[in-house]
Amino acid sequence: MTKARTSRSTTAYLIIVFVVVFNLIPFVWMISTSFKTYEEAHKIPPTYLPQNPTVESYTQILIWTNFPRYFLNSSVISLGTAILSTFVGALAGYGFSRFRFPGRTTWIGVIIATQMLPGVLLVGPYFKMLVQIRLYNTYPGLILAFTTITLPFSTWMMKGFIDTVPEELDQAAMVDGCSTFAGFRRVILPVITPGMVATMIFAFLLAWGDLLWVLVLTSGDNMATVTLGLSRLVTQFRIIWPQLMAGSVIGAIPPLVLYVILQNYLVKGLTAGAVKE
Amino acid sequence: MSTASAGRRKKGSSTRARNILRGYLFILPCILLLLLVLGFPMVAAVANSFTPLWSPEKTFTLANYFSLLEDVLFWNALKVTGIFVGGTVGLHLVLGFIVALALNTAIRAKKIFRVIAILPWTVPDVISGLIWRFMYNPTSGIINDVLMRIGIGGDYIEWLARPGLALPSVIIADVWRGYPFVMIILLAGLQAIPKELYEAARVDGASRLQEFVNVTIPGVMRIMLIALALDTIWQIRRFGLIYNMTLGGPGHVTEILSLYVYKHYFKYFNFEYASAIAVVMALTMLAISYPYIRTITRRA
């Protein structure tokens, strides 16, 4: 018994050591490369850690390229998406959670099904549409696009969170003379704040990581995002890896920090209703 | 008394009507946005696959779908997508399950391992693609160097440029990026299995394998299927990773459907043909995810 348990935990530790190595090597490689000089990064054979660590790649991309602008664009677009899709999602989530109306299940089905539509199906006509209403290459055009991509998910997550709030709570508010909307605002919203934060972060990350939609819906350098900027750097004739890795480090930090904070909520939100019976 | 009950009934039905109205008011903004930004482009894409919407001549034709049948590159993209999605989702599941089981056993410093285990998933796929592309670099990359040092390699292997190696290499990069998602979901499932079930199995003298087959697997089944459904859908749509690692090359060996549609749209400007491929792709995805949509909807 004890022996079995020891062997089991030894296996577990071995797996975990493997995981730590497998997971971290690419990060170490990215960070290490970002601190190398151009010559060192392209040396044969490669060095594992920078011999003369330098921050020149960081200063170069921050000062001599449009990277700060990309970062700003990514932030504005992702933040706008997060706020809009979470609030619209919270409203819809409340509607689905609290009211039984004809067509309810159908609409839930439709909303879930829209998640299955591939971006490449929609992005072409959406591009035409944006050009026509003059929102091509603008923040609102992109925020609207991303909101719609994240909305089914936000709605579903918010519904899951609102389902966990006892209905007596908003009924009590209505007995106290609150209108439905005031009840939603004063009773539900404060209780589901953690859920809203989780949903917001999730939407933020989805928008932050996208390439396809920004590739199609923007032109030139001023509206490019971090992912698009990096993708353009790598298609250039001469790839400067330390700069590219420095940009990758900067682009990877916001999602990394947010995910680690969000971890527990994320599992709950993604699997709402699946764990509990 | 009869008037009272009639009054109550009347009041009841008007409350019901008001509730229906309220329900719709709350979901209205969501539905409007979806119609505007998803509904319209979807209808346009479907229509466009049958008739050129953006040209003066509008004739209904099935030509786009017929040429699909004869398009070698379309079938190639379908095959590549199948291998890519099958390979990545399968490996995400296997690796995710093993690591979840390991993390679920009593070990010290669980929290820090959990954070490390999730890290790769936090990286945008564009950036994962770039990191791995440089790791695969034949001369200055770490992979060939390590292989040479431990004596397996001995050659500057062109991981992403050799037709036979490019797709497996891309799959491995995606396994690194994607397995942590399946892992955390499964871990949550494992932790939700009541301890008593294991104790009961032990009392009954079940072996570890029997315990795994009869307690663990059924315990995580539902959540595992959800993770698989989500992962499959996400993998079919994957774009940024391959765009940045190989752009579909060498030749077309890593050209997944999303990339193939993208090229037809924005490189060759075959809008109608691109729409037809995308419609087929969407139908496939809907078909695959139909059980998932149904289950979720029914439980809602």
Provide the chain B residues 106-165 that lie in CB contact (below 8 A) with chain A: 106-107, 113-128, 130-135, 139-142, 145, 148
Which of B61, B78, B99 is the last residue before a domain boundary?
A: B61
Residue A193 maps to which CATH number? Answer: 1.10.3720.10
Residues B188 and B217 in one domain: yes
Q: Are residues B55 and B71 in the same domain?
A: no
Residue B213 tokens, joined: 């087959």
User: Are B275 and B158 in the same domain?
Assistant: yes
CB contact under 8 A, A121 and B189: no
Q: How confident is the model at residue B219 (pLDDT cuts 50, 70, 90)?
A: confident
Cβ-Cβ contacts under 8 Å, B113 against chain A: 16, 19-20
Mean pLDDT of B225-241: 89
Q: Which residues have C-beta within 8 Å of that of residue B50, sequence separation ≥ 6? A: B60, B61, B62, B64
Measure CB to CB from residue B20 to each of A101, A109, A159 and give the nearest one: A101
For chains A and B, CB pairs below 8 A equal 309
Q: What is the domain range of residue A38?
A: 1-56
Q: Does B20 touch chain A (CB under 8 A)?
A: yes
Say whether both A110 and A226 belong to one domain.
yes
Q: What is the pTM of this model?
A: 0.89
- Residue B128 contacts residue B214 (beta carbons within 8 Å): no
Same structural domain, A183 and A228: yes
pLDDT tens for chain A, 277 residues long, are 455 556 777 888 888 889 899 999 999 999 999 999 988 988 888 888 898 899 999 999 898 888 999 999 999 999 999 999 999 999 999 999 888 888 888 898 888 888 888 888 998 889 988 998 898 999 999 999 998 888 988 898 888 888 888 888 777 777 777 777 887 888 888 888 878 888 888 889 889 999 999 999 998 888 999 999 999 988 777 888 999 999 999 999 999 888 877 776 766 665 554 443 3
**Domain match, A114 and A137 both:** yes
Least confident piece of the model among A261-275, B93-107, B155-169, B182-196: A261-275
Q: What is the CATH number of the domain that holds B251?
A: 1.10.3720.10
pLDDT in tens, B128-143: 999 999 999 998 999 9
Residue A277 lies in a domain: no
Share of chain B above pLDDT 70, in %: 93
Question: How far from each other are the two terminal CA atoms of chain B, in whole angstroms?
Answer: 39
Q: Tokens 């779908």 appear where? A: B65
| A209 and A140 within one domain | yes
Candidates B37, B181, B279, partner chain A, best to mutate (most A CBs within 10 A): B37
Residues of A in contact with B298 (CB under 8 A): 105
Same domain, A46 and A90: no
Assess whether B75 and B92 both reside in one domain: yes
A246 in a structural domain: yes
Kindly give the residue spans of alpha helices, DSSP state H, lying in chain B: 2-34, 40-50, 63-70, 72-104, 110-122, 125-135, 142-149, 163-191, 195-203, 208-211, 217-237, 240-245, 257-266, 271-299
With a cut of 90, say whether residue B10 has pLDDT above it. Answer: no
CA angle B146-B148-B153, nearest 5°?
Answer: 110
Query: Quick one: B12 and B103 in the same domain?
Result: no
Q: Cβ–Cβ of A99/B26 closer than 8 Å?
A: yes
User: Is residue B126 domain-shared with residue B84, that is, in the same domain?
Assistant: yes
**Same-domain check for residues A30 and A107:** no
Examine the domain organization and report whether B264 and B120 are in the same domain: yes
Chosen from A16, A37, A121 to mutate, greatest number of chain B CBs within 10 A: A121
**Same domain for B80 and B137?**
yes
- Residue B5 is predicted with a pLDDT of 45
- A276 within some domain: no
**A137 lies in the same domain as A180:** yes
Asked whether residue A17 falls in the same domain as residue A146, the answer is no
DSSP of B3-44 = HHHHHHHHHHHHHHHHHHHHHHHHHHHHHHHHIIIIIHHHHH
For residue B257, the chain A residues in CB contact (below 8 A) are 118, 120
Whether the predicted pLDDT of B226 surpasses 60: yes
Is the Cβ–Cβ distance between B279 and B49 less than 8 Å?
A: yes
Nearest Cα residue in chain B from A38? B140
B130 and B90 within one domain:
yes
For residue A274, the model assigns a pLDDT of 45
Question: Which of B78, B49, B72, B40 minimizes the C-alpha distance to B276?
Answer: B49
Count of the separate structural domains present in chain A: 2
**Same-domain check for residues A49 and A90:** no
Query: B275–A22: do the CB atoms touch at under 8 Å?
Result: no
SS3 labels along chain A: CHHHHHHHHHHHHHHHHHHHHHHHHHHHHHHHHHCCCHHHHCCCCCCCCCCCCCCHHHHHHHHHCCHHHHHHHHHHHHHHHHHHHHHHHHHHHHHHHHCCCCCHHHHHHHHHHHCCCCHHHHHHHHHHHHHHCCCCCCHHHHHHHHHHHHHHHHHHHHHHHHHCCCHHHHHHHHHCCCCHHHHHHHHHHHHCHHHHHHHHHHHHHHHHHCCHHHHHHCCCCCCCCHHHHHHHHHCCCCCCHHHHHHHHHHHHHHHHHHHHHHHHHHHHHHCCCCCCC
Give the count of domains, chain B. 2
Short-list B239, B105, B135, CA closest to A22:
B135
Cβ pair A12:B142 closer than 8 A:
no
Give B75-94 pLDDT, tens digit per residue: 999 999 999 999 999 999 99
Question: Are B91 and B194 in the same domain?
Answer: yes
Read off the pLDDT of residues B97-125 as tens digits, 9 standing for 90 and up.
Answer: 999 998 888 667 677 888 888 889 889 99
Give A275's contacts in chain B (Cβ within 8 Å): 188-189, 192, 223
Report CB contact under 8 Å: B23, A100: yes
The reply to whether B80 and B56 lie within a common domain is no
Residues A132 and A174 in one domain: yes
Tell me which chain B residues have a C-beta less than 8 angstroms from the C-beta of A152.
34
Residues B43 and B146 placed together within one structural domain of the fold: no
Residues A77, A3 share a domain: no
- A147 is a domain residue: yes
Of A39, A56, A73, the one marking the end of a domain is A56
| Of A277, A273, A275, nearest in space to A156 by CA | A273
A27 contact residues in B (CB cutoff 8 A):
119, 131
Whether A199 and A69 map to the same domain: the answer is yes
**A68 or B150, which is more confident:** A68
Domain end among A56, A74, A95: A56
Domain carrying residue B160: 63-299
Give contacts of A81 with chain B, Cβ < 8 Å.
none
Q: How confident is the model at residue B3 (pLDDT cuts 50, 70, 90)?
A: very low
The confidence score (pLDDT) of residue A267 equals 64
Where residue B269 falls (left for φ over 0; alpha for ψ -120 to 50; beta otherwise) is left
Q: Are B127 and A252 in contact (CB under 8 A)?
A: yes
Q: Which of A23, A104, A212 sits opposite B120 (nearest CB)?
A: A23
Cα angle for residues B22, B20, B5 (degrees, 5° grid) = 115
Task: Find, in chain A, the residue whose alpha carbon is nearest to that of B260.
Answer: A120
Q: ipTM value of the model?
A: 0.88
